[in-house]
Amino acid sequence: MIADNLASVKLHISEAAKKAGRSPDSIRLIVVSKQVSSEKVLDAYQAGAKCFGENKVQEAISKIDEVNLPDVGWHFIGHLQKNKIKYLDSRFDLIHSVDSLSLAKKISTHCESQNRTQAVLLQVNISGEEAKFGMTPSELKTQLPDFAQLKGIQVQGLMTIPPQDSEVENSRKYFSRLRELRDDCQALKVQGVELNELSMGMTSDFTIAIEEGATLVRVGTAIFGARATPGGK
Neighbouring residues of 73: CB distance < 8 A, sequence distance ≥ 6:
50, 51, 52, 93, 94
- What local confidence, expressed as pLDDT, does residue 89 receive? 81
Neighbouring residues of 209: CB distance < 8 A, sequence distance ≥ 6:
171, 175, 200, 201, 217
- pLDDT at residue 233 above 70? no
- pLDDT at residue 135 above 60? yes
- Name the pLDDT band for 229 (thresholds 50, 70, 90): low
Burial annotation 134-173 (CB, 10 A radius, 16+ → b, else e): bbebeebeeebeebeebebbbbbbbbbbbeeeeebeebee
Give the percent of the chain with pLDDT over 70: 97
- What local confidence, expressed as pLDDT, does residue 65 receive? 93
- Return d(Cα 197, Cα 161) in angstroms, integer: 15
- Return d(Cα 214, Cα 63) in angstroms, integer: 27
Q: What mean pLDDT value characterizes the chain?
A: 95
User: 43: phi > 0 → left, psi -120 to 50 → alpha, else beta; which?
Assistant: alpha
- Name the pLDDT band for 228 (thresholds 50, 70, 90): low
Query: What domains does the chain contain, in order, with CATH numbers?
Result: 2-224 (3.20.20.10)
Euclidean distance between the first and final Cα of the chain, in Å? 18
In this structure, of 41-55, 56-70, 94-108, the range with the lowest mean pLDDT score is 56-70
**pLDDT tens-place string over residues 1-31:** 999 999 999 999 999 999 999 999 999 999 9
- Return d(Cα 89, Cα 68) in angstroms, integer: 15
User: 48: phi > 0 → left, psi -120 to 50 → alpha, else beta; which?
Assistant: left
Using only C-alpha atoms, what is the Rg of the chain? 17
- What local confidence, expressed as pLDDT, does residue 227 receive? 76
- Return d(Cα 39, Cα 28) in angstroms, integer: 23
- pLDDT at residue 175 above 90? yes
